[in-house]
A and B are shown apart, each in its own frame.
Chain A
Amino acid sequence: MGSTFETIRRLGPAAFVLKAIIAAIVADALLLGFILLRRAYRARFFAKRDARVFEFRRNWEALISGEIPYETWRKKPFDLRIVETIVLDAFEAAGREESARLLNFLRTSGLIDRLIFDAQRLQGWRRRRALVSLGRTRALEGISALAEGLRDRDAETRLAALRGLARTACPEAAEEILLWVGETGLTVPPLPLQSALIQCCAERPQVLLPYLHHAEGPLREVLGRVLGEVATPSLGMDLLEFAVDNLDELRAAAARALSHVQPGLALDALSELARDPIWFVRLRAVVSLGRLNHQGAVPLLLHGLTDSNRLVRLRAAEGLVGIRSEMVSTFEEVVATRDLYGLHAYLTALENAGLRRKLETELETTDSINENGRKLLLAVLKTGTLAVEQPEPSELASAETSFRS
């Protein structure tokens, strides 16, 4: 040993490097040792856990009915964690009746109180985990603890609370979220907020309206998008009000939501929105027109086929194909627009829906058009180009005239 130290001493200035070498070797050994120890520990841990999980699952009914006293597992953190995991996983696949039974078990066993306590008192990732777990139970008594999480200083915790509230999917949770965004504005990314509100407002979209009237800026956009997703026919008149809003996002949301309204009420508003200067408003409008599945939407969708935006054209074409109407006359009108991009979009939609062959057959057998018109339309259908003989104006001008009228 003495000679080794002597060598190090003689190295002089290089001693630092030698120390570094030794440190690196020690680090190697420590890393390896850690990997080995961790593997050994985990192997034992998982073996033990698997055995307990098996045992709990075997006695599951007795466990949740209370036949097995709760104290037997509640006092052991290892067992408590396993039971909690099994219950929360069971919630994901449970129907209404089973969920109620599981919730009852959580309440009587005191697990829900523990989750609420953890969601309120813990910090960092433990709190986040508790918040999400609490949300997964869909227990109404957990909403206030989740709402507290929304007001945490840490953004990740706020997100976890939001996700937890989203899981409860009830209007009470929506109220809490809306109250919070009303107080603080957008302090989380918009998408998780939208997602949470969509889930919570689906049952009662009316809760959004007062907040939407008072919200400003980006928050108004977010709420508008949510409205677009959750709107129901019961919101009819309110939606018409938003269709002339200054905010593009809100007009788009109204356009989207109008597909749920009676066609008689929606068509006029949608015809305006389909001419909106903003492309995504037009897009929403043509999608809604397609969903209305009403003959009155056809001229508007034909106009959409000639839109400057590719997505609008595509959706208009899909809408046209989706409307159960006389295919030959619709195709005639598409050709009459003399718009190659629109024609391509229509043919794409037709082929995607597997209706191309049907149209061809109808064209071959119909007697609603003359022979020249039939040949022309068949040629357009087969070649996908408009560079064929110009049709008789009387035959193919109907689309434009009907749209203008």
Chain B
Amino acid sequence: MIRLLEIVNQVLFFYYLTSNLAYLITLIIALKTSAAHQRRLESNRLGWIKESPLAPPVTILAPAYNEEKSIRVSVRNLLELDYSELEVIVINDGSTDRTLEMMQEEFRLRRVRAVYIAQAASATVRGLYRSDLDPRLLVVDKEPGGSKADAVNAGLNAASSPYVCVVDADSVLERDALLRIMAPVLADPKRVVCVGGIVRVLNGSEIEGGQLRRVRLPRKALQAIQVVEYLRAFLIGRESWAQGNMLMIISGAFGIFRTDLLRAVGGYRSNAIGEDFDMVARLHRHLLERGIDYQIQFVPDPVCWTEVPSDMQSLGRQRARWQKGLLDVLWRNRDMLFRPRYGRIGSFALPYLWIFELLAPVIELGGIVTIILAAWLGVLSQEFFLQFLLFGYAFATVISIGSVLQEELTYKRYNDWQDVARLVSYCFLEHFPYRQLHMIWRLLGLVQYLRGDMAWKQVKRKGLQSAS
């Protein structure tokens, strides 16, 4: 028993070491690539993209469910984006509040017979509306589909542009967001099939008329810790994975896709828990199986701001759902593992996600249990325990501070000294007890999935109106 505990502890230690090393490598890659990205931007001015007659039309798909508080501001924000050929489709996913009425009042919607071809599965469409004030705005009013995927599919069926940009109706996009995210597409339209954008935390920032006026760090610790998490996930994780063309997630809050490809794979899977992750995995599969040379890119410029959960319950639900989504997609695509036909996705990206993302809560919480057990049995090596704790802590903070540094070196959106000081302090504080709590939520997500509990649990949000 004692020997077994020792072995388990050693294994856990090396698991932790490997995962942190992987993070360190991604940090170095991200620091290098974002510097190159900054330099590249200098020689590719966004205004030129805006003026280009070759910029392909883009349809923005914004699903909305019970967004009466913020829908007017959000839609106005979308219509004001800098892009020459823009269409905005808002999908009212069977809202039970006054979301549709609000839009009707604000944009003078009238019922139209726009072309709608049901190529992607979606709940019944009740009607299509076009704005008299701005003909670029089309509203799809549909029966509730129970998922964002279902709503996006309805929008996809009505879209008339070669590219669609999927956003969350309650996110705030910066004016040049589309220009920035379309830059890789314009540089290489044959190979670049979709581009993911960075999503940043909106809470605490000042908004005016749907536009971000000043970026501030949220006051509440729970939200501020999520800022560190988002920086780490996007600025380090996604940036470096995208370098190897192994990006597996394009956030549902902001991403651009080739419309024909989305239609070719049948649109989003309506019952997918993490529809964004699921879509990217299916696109990889579709393209790799056909031997198509493609790229899925990531733009690290801070252009999309979204509200994160501000209470424990909502955050727990969100993280449990993310973990369920992860398991759902990985399990469905398990046949891709280690198959040469799926290239680096099958041999590298997916195994990494299985070991270091999916199993992380099991292994990490298991580690805590074995340590407690070892201490209880009196066989805990204090030396080992101290090493484990100190090394893990110090290494993890290097990664977190590295992501803050990345933000400082490149985009520097937190201008206030106090904000940066707080951000750095949360790099040290997030590891206890938030990290353990986070692991418990993720473990609960796995348990819920295995029990077949796929119910969508509402995450509380205040909405743009209140934020402004």
Please, which residues of chain B bring their CB within 8 A of the CB of A11? Answer: 383
Judge whether B160 and A191 touch: CB under 8 Å: no
Looking at the complex, which of A52-60, A156-164, A172-180 is the stretch in contact with chain B? A156-164
Judge whether B398 and A24 touch: CB under 8 Å: yes
Judge whether A195 and B52 touch: CB under 8 Å: yes
Quick one: given A17-B391, A191-B186, A192-B187, are A28 and B117 in contact (CB under 8 Å)? no
Least CB separation from B192: chain A residue: A189
Judge if A293 is at the interface, Cβ distance under 8 Å: no
Judge whether B387 and A125 touch: CB under 8 Å: no
Judge if B7 is at the interface, Cβ distance under 8 Å: no
CB distance from A290 to the nearest CB of B (A): 16
Partner of A18, one of B43, B45, B387: B387
Name the residue among A32, A34, A190, A311 with the largest chain B CB count within 10 angstroms: A32
Main secondary structure of the interface of A (DSSP, over half): helix
Quick one: given A24-B391, A31-B402, A32-B424, are A128 and B42 in contact (CB under 8 Å)? yes
CB distance from B384 to the nearest CB of A (A): 8
Least CB separation from A135: chain B residue: B43
Judge whether B43 and A163 touch: CB under 8 Å: yes
Least CB separation from B110: chain A residue: A351
Judge whether B54 and A314 touch: CB under 8 Å: no
CB distance from A227 to the nearest CB of B (A): 13
Judge whether A195 and B113 touch: CB under 8 Å: no
The CA of A65 and the CA of B403, in the complex, are separated in Å by 47
Judge if A347 is at the interface, Cβ distance under 8 Å: yes
Judge whether B43 and A35 touch: CB under 8 Å: no
CB distance from A320 to the nearest CB of B (A): 15
Judge whether B47 and A92 touch: CB under 8 Å: yes
Please, which residues of chain B bring their CB within 8 A of the CB of A129? Answer: 39, 42-43
Quick one: given A21-B387, A21-B390, A35-B424, are A156 and B398 in contact (CB under 8 Å)? no
Please, which residues of chain A bring their CB within 8 A of the CB of B420? Answer: 35, 39
The CA of A129 and the CA of B398, in the complex, are separated in Å by 33
Judge whether A189 and B47 touch: CB under 8 Å: no
Quick one: given A191-B186, A352-B130, are A35 and B42 in contact (CB under 8 Å)? no
Please, which residues of chain A bring their CB within 8 A of the CB of B405? Answer: 31, 34-35
Judge whether A351 and B398 touch: CB under 8 Å: no
Judge if A217 is at the interface, Cβ distance under 8 Å: no
Please, which residues of chain B bring their CB within 8 A of the CB of A292? Answer: none
Judge if A25 is at the interface, Cβ distance under 8 Å: yes
Judge whether A128 and B39 touch: CB under 8 Å: yes
Judge if A345 is at the interface, Cβ distance under 8 Å: yes
Partner of B187, one of A189, A344, A384: A189
Judge whether A198 and B398 touch: CB under 8 Å: no
Quick one: given A14-B387, A17-B387, A163-B48, are A310 and B117 in contact (CB under 8 Å)? yes
The CA of A35 and the CA of B231, in the complex, are separated in Å by 16
Interface flags, B103-131, vs A, CB<8A=1, else 0: 00000001011110100000000000010
The CA of A109 and the CA of B287, in the complex, are separated in Å by 55
CB distance from A314 to the nearest CB of B (A): 6
Please, which residues of chain A bring their CB within 8 A of the CB of B39? Answer: 125, 128-129
CB distance from B164 to the nearest CB of A (A): 15
Least CB separation from B389: chain A residue: A21
Judge whether A352 and B189 touch: CB under 8 Å: no
CB distance from B264 to the nearest CB of A (A): 15
The CA of A344 and the CA of B160, in the complex, are separated in Å by 14
Partner of A24, one of B114, B115, B395, B404: B395
Judge if A107 is at the interface, Cβ distance under 8 Å: no
CB distance from A118 to the nearest CB of B (A): 13
CB distance from A280 to the nearest CB of B (A): 11
Judge whether B114 and A348 touch: CB under 8 Å: yes
Judge if B132 is at the interface, Cβ distance under 8 Å: yes
Q: How many residues does chain A have at the interface if contact means C-beta atoms less than 8 Å apart?
A: 47
Partner of B130, one of A131, A167, A345, A351: A351
Judge if B85 is at the interface, Cβ distance under 8 Å: no
Name the residue among B42, B117, B132 with the largest chain A CB count within 10 angstroms: B42
Judge whether A39 and B391 touch: CB under 8 Å: no
Judge if B376 is at the interface, Cβ distance under 8 Å: no
Judge whether B408 and A39 touch: CB under 8 Å: yes
CB distance from B25 to the nearest CB of A (A): 14
Please, which residues of chain B bring their CB within 8 A of the CB of A32? Answer: 401, 424
Judge if B366 is at the interface, Cβ distance under 8 Å: no
Interface flags, A142-164, vs B, CB<8A=1, else 0: 00000000000000100110010
The CA of A352 and the CA of B405, in the complex, are separated in Å by 49
Partner of A38, one of B395, B398, B408, B424: B408
Please, which residues of chain B bring their CB within 8 A of the CB of A128? Answer: 39, 42-43
Main secondary structure of the interface of B (DSSP, over half): helix
Judge if B394 is at the interface, Cβ distance under 8 Å: yes
Please, which residues of chain A bring their CB within 8 A of the CB of B417? Answer: 39
Least CB separation from A162: chain B residue: B43
The CA of A304 and the CA of B420, in the complex, are separated in Å by 60
Name the residue among B44, B384, B404 with the largest chain A CB count within 10 angstroms: B44
Partner of A194, one of B42, B54, B424: B54
Judge if A94 is at the interface, Cβ distance under 8 Å: no
Quick one: given A21-B391, A31-B398, are A229 and B53 in contact (CB under 8 Å)? yes
Judge whether B54 and A198 touch: CB under 8 Å: yes
Please, which residues of chain A bring their CB within 8 A of the CB of B48? Answer: 163, 166-167, 195
Interface flags, B410-432, vs A, CB<8A=1, else 0: 00000001001000100000000
Judge if A132 is at the interface, Cβ distance under 8 Å: yes
Quick one: given A31-B401, A314-B115, are A125 and B42 in contact (CB under 8 Å)? yes
CB distance from A169 to the nearest CB of B (A): 11
Please, which residues of chain A bring their CB within 8 A of the CB of B54? Answer: 191, 194-195, 198, 229
CB distance from B322 to the nearest CB of A (A): 28
Name the residue among A39, A129, A194, A351 with the largest chain B CB count within 10 angstroms: A351
Judge if B40 is at the interface, Cβ distance under 8 Å: yes
Please, which residues of chain A bring their CB within 8 A of the CB of B186? Answer: 191-192, 195
Judge whether A351 and B52 touch: CB under 8 Å: no
Judge if B188 is at the interface, Cβ distance under 8 Å: yes
Judge whether B43 and A159 touch: CB under 8 Å: yes
Please, which residues of chain B bring their CB within 8 A of the CB of A31? Answer: 398, 401-402, 405
Name the residue among A38, A129, A195 with the largest chain B CB count within 10 angstroms: A195
Least CB separation from B391: chain A residue: A21
Please, which residues of chain B bring their CB within 8 A of the CB of A125? Answer: 39, 42-43
Please, which residues of chain B bring their CB within 8 A of the CB of A27? Answer: 394, 398
CB distance from B365 to the nearest CB of A (A): 23
Judge whether A348 and B112 touch: CB under 8 Å: yes
Query: Which 4 A-B pairs give the minimum distances between C-beta atoms?
Result: A24-B394, A125-B39, A160-B43, A351-B112
What is the interface of chain A, defined by CB distance below 8 A to chain B? 11, 14, 17-18, 20-21, 24-25, 27-28, 31-32, 34-35, 38-39, 92, 125, 128-129, 131-132, 156, 159-160, 163, 166-167, 189-192, 194-195, 198, 229, 310-311, 314, 344-345, 347-348, 351-352, 354, 384
| 11 examples of A-B residue contacts, CB within 8 angstroms | A14-B384, A21-B394, A24-B394, A24-B398, A28-B398, A28-B401, A92-B47, A129-B43, A156-B40, A229-B53, A314-B160
What is the interface of chain B, defined by CB distance below 8 A to chain A? 39-40, 42-45, 47-48, 52-54, 110, 112-115, 117, 130, 132, 135, 160, 186-190, 383-384, 387, 390-391, 394-395, 397-398, 401-402, 404-405, 408-409, 417, 420, 424
Q: A18-B387, A28-B398, A128-B42 are in contact. List 5 more A-B contacts (CB 8 A).
A: A35-B401, A92-B47, A125-B39, A131-B43, A352-B135
